[in-house]
């Protein structure tokens, strides 16, 4: 059975920008460019993957643990991985090579139940062809299982994944057991999710208790919500801080804001919009293909940058709020892409925490850029009269936006050619 992943590829395209040495005098108007420059040195799409995503779904039965693993290599690491799998280098992945690689993965997994090691056995294997594997759009599907002695009371399962740690990004979660006599008590993960602990009860009565202030902590622990929220908060921060297209877009919004209230309004519109589509896409209520989403996100950078450069006065007010909201809807679809498949397979009790944690992480990532950027803008404008502040604000807006415009045009051209 073929196991498909909807994780959107994030092709890593590391490009160095070489330039001749320039001699110049430090000028306040250059401060903004120097601040944005680090963002321009390593342009890459937020949805490009340069890691090896290993998403594990755990299933629990009365005497069996199942592991359904989806391994999705990003296009940068896929050729190396293919070279390790296709040992005879004939450009095809034979059945023997598939099972040999599955055995490598099995050896890198460690499963214990109540402190006792359990032997994992391969149940199912699914491989794309070699060309599909290197495209970043297809995954390897492996299903393992381990038997253990059935018993009543609280049980503890520990899983360690040490497969390709040098390139791996791990995700793991447990599905709600189909057996009504088995209840999940708590899930714990380390930061990287390479280590996972699951506590479950095989004979307790599942009683729904009201969520009171005294019982909230117990409810969060039992559902694993707190752990999931914290984990996805970290993923949200990482996603936005490595997503230079999103960062450039919100930086353009900040450049055109002359007051704190202007910034609050436009960021609120953007946040509200991308939160809507992030939630809807994660719940599989809205879906657009990447060949539409990626170019629109790139076009949003070009549009706002052009407006900032050539029509700076119109880059504020209701028009800018409409633009921030409209483009924010597509940015939300981009945010959802990287984690859509895993969130969708979560139990209903934890998916809310995943969405909330990831959304808050994205906003925290935005703040790490917007706060120092806006503070820098205020510092440069400080101790100038109103007319000078307005003139300087427009000059900085145009200077910074012109640099971002060049990157936006590159993003747009690249996304259009990649999707054609």
Q: Please state whether 115 falls in left (phi above 0), alpha (psi between -120 and 50) or beta.
A: left
Q: pLDDT > 90: what percent of the chain?
A: 33
Q: Is residue 232 part of a domain?
A: no
Q: 55 pLDDT exceeds 80?
A: yes
- The answer on 151 and 256 residing in a single domain is no
DSSP SS3 for 319: helix
Q: Which DSSP symbol is given to 400?
A: H
* C-alpha count within 13 angstroms, C-beta hemisphere, residue 343: 28
Does 283 lie in the same domain as 363?
yes
Considering the domain architecture, whether residues 249 and 344 belong to the same structural domain is answered as: yes
Task: Quote the CA–CA distance of 125 and 212 in Å, as a whole number.
Answer: 45
Q: Are 263 and 372 in contact (CB under 8 A)?
A: no
- Specify whether 272 is located in the same domain as 203: no
Identify whether 369 is part of a domain.
Answer: yes
Which pLDDT score, from 0 to 100, does residue 194 have? 94
Number of domains in the chain: 2
Judge if 412 and 298 occupy the same domain.
yes
Residue labelled with tokens 């504020």: 316
Q: How far is CA 115 from CA 99, 112, 156, 197, 315, in A?
A: 28, 5, 8, 11, 62
Q: What is the mean pLDDT of residues 64-73?
A: 94
Structural domain includes residue 1:
no
Mean pLDDT taken over the chain: 78
d(CA 258, CA 261): 8
Give the model's pLDDT for residue 299.
94
pLDDT of 182 higher than 50: yes
Residues 354 and 411 in one domain: yes
Q: What is the pLDDT of residue 174?
A: 93
Query: In whole angstroms, how far apart are CA 143 and each of 99, 165, 276, 319, 415?
Result: 12, 20, 34, 52, 35
Token pair 């306040």: residue: 28
**At how many degrees (to 10) do helices 225-241 and 348-381 cross?**
40
Regarding predicted confidence, which is higher, 262 or 384?
262
Beta-carbon contacts of 273 under 8 Å, excluding residues fewer than 6 positions away, are 324, 325, 326, 327, 328, 329, 331, 332
Confidence at residue 382, expressed as pLDDT on a 0 to 100 scale: 67
Q: Tell me, what's the pLDDT at 47?
A: 38
Whole-model pTM: value is: 0.51
Range of the domain at 110: 52-207
Among 207, 226, 248, give the residue marking a domain's end: 207
Domain contains 63? yes
What confidence score (pLDDT) does residue 180 get? 83
Three-state SS at 133: helix
Q: Is residue 14 part of a domain?
A: no
Question: Do 189 and 251 belong to one domain?
Answer: no
Which of 142-151, 308-317, 398-407 comes out lowest in average pLDDT?
308-317
DSSP-assigned beta bridge partners for residue 146: 65
> What pLDDT is recorded for position 300?
94
Residue 245 shares a structural domain with residue 373: yes
**Nearest Cα residue to 3 out of 143, 178, 175, 194:** 143
Please, which residues have CB within 8 angstroms of residue 202's CB and are 6 or more apart in sequence? 62, 150, 151, 152, 153, 155, 181, 182
Report d(CA 47, CA 418) in Å as an integer.
Answer: 13
Walk across the sheet containing 195-201 and list its strands.
116-118, 109-113, 154-161, 195-201, 183-189
Rounded average pLDDT over 206-231: 52
Q: Would residue 307 count as lying in a domain?
A: yes
Is 161 in the same domain as 243? no
Residues 327, 366, single domain; the answer is yes
Would 222 be classed as within a structural domain?
Answer: no
Per-residue model confidence as pLDDT tens digits over 226-254: 677 787 888 888 888 878 888 899 989 88
Distance CA 124, CA 145 (A): 10
pLDDT tens-digit series, residues 77-103: 889 999 999 999 898 999 899 999 999
- pLDDT at position 160 is 96
Res 233: pLDDT: 87
Give domain status of residue 93, yes or no.
yes
Confidence of residue 131 (pLDDT cuts 50, 70, 90): confident
User: Taking residues 217-222, what's their average pLDDT?
Assistant: 48
pLDDT at 384: 63
Q: How confident is the model over 181-200, as a mean pLDDT?
A: 91
User: Looking at the structure, do residues 145 and 281 belong to the same domain, yes or no?
Assistant: no
- Note whether 171 and 259 are same-domain residues: no
How many other CB atoms are found less than 10 A from the CB of residue 217?
10
């Amino acid at each position: 059975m073929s196991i498909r992943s909807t994780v959107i590829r994030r092709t890593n395209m590391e490009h160095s920008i070489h330039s001749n040495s320039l001699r110049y005098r430090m000028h306040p108007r250059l401060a903004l460019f120097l601040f944005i420059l680090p963002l321009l040195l390593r342009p890459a799409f937020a949805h490009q993957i340069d890691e090896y995503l290993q998403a594990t779904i755990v299933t629990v039965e009365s005497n069996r643990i199942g592991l359904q693993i989806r391994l999705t290599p990003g296009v940068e690491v896929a050729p190396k991985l293919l070279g390790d799998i296709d040992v005879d280098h004939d450009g095809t992945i034979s059945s023997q090579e598939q099972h040999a690689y599955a055995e490598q993965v099995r050896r890198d997994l460690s499963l214990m139940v109540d402190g006792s090691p359990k032997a994992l056995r391969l149940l199912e294997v699914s491989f794309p062809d070699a060309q599909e594997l290197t495209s970043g759009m297809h995954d390897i599907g492996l299903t393992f299982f381990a038997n253990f002695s059935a018993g009543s009371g609280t049980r503890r399962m520990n899983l360690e994944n040490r497969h390709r740690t040098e390139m791996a990004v791990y995700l793991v979660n447990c599905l709600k057991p189909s057996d009504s006599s088995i209840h999940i008590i708590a899930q714990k993960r380390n930061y990287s999710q390479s280590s996972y602990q699951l506590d479950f009860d095989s004979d307790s009565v599942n009683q729904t208790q009201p969520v009171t202030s005294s019982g909230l902590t117990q409810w969060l622990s039992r559902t694993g919500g707190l752990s999931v929220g914290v984990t996805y908060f970290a993923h949200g921060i990482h996603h936005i801080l490595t997503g230079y297209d999103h960062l450039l877009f919100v930086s353009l919004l900040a450049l055109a804001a002359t007051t704190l209230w202007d910034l609050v309004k436009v960021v609120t519109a953007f946040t509200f919009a991308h939160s809507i589509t992030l939630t809807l896409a994660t719940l599989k209520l809205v879906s657009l293909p990447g060949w539409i989403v990626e170019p629109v996100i790139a076009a949003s950078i070009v549009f706002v940058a052009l407006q900032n450069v050539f029509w700076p006065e119109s880059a504020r007010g209701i028009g800018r709020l409409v633009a921030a909201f409209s483009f924010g809807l597509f940015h939300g679809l981009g945010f959802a892409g990287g984690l859509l498949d895993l969130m969708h397979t979560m139990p209903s009790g934890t998916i809310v925490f995943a969405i909330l944690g990831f959304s808050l992480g994205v906003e925290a990532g935005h703040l790490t850029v917007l706060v120092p950027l806006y503070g820098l803008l205020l510092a440069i404008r400080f101790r100038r009269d109103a007319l000078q502040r307005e003139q300087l604000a427009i000059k900085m807006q145009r200077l910074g936006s012109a640099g971002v415009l060049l990157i936006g045009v590159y993003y747009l051209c690249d996304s259009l050619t990649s999707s054609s």
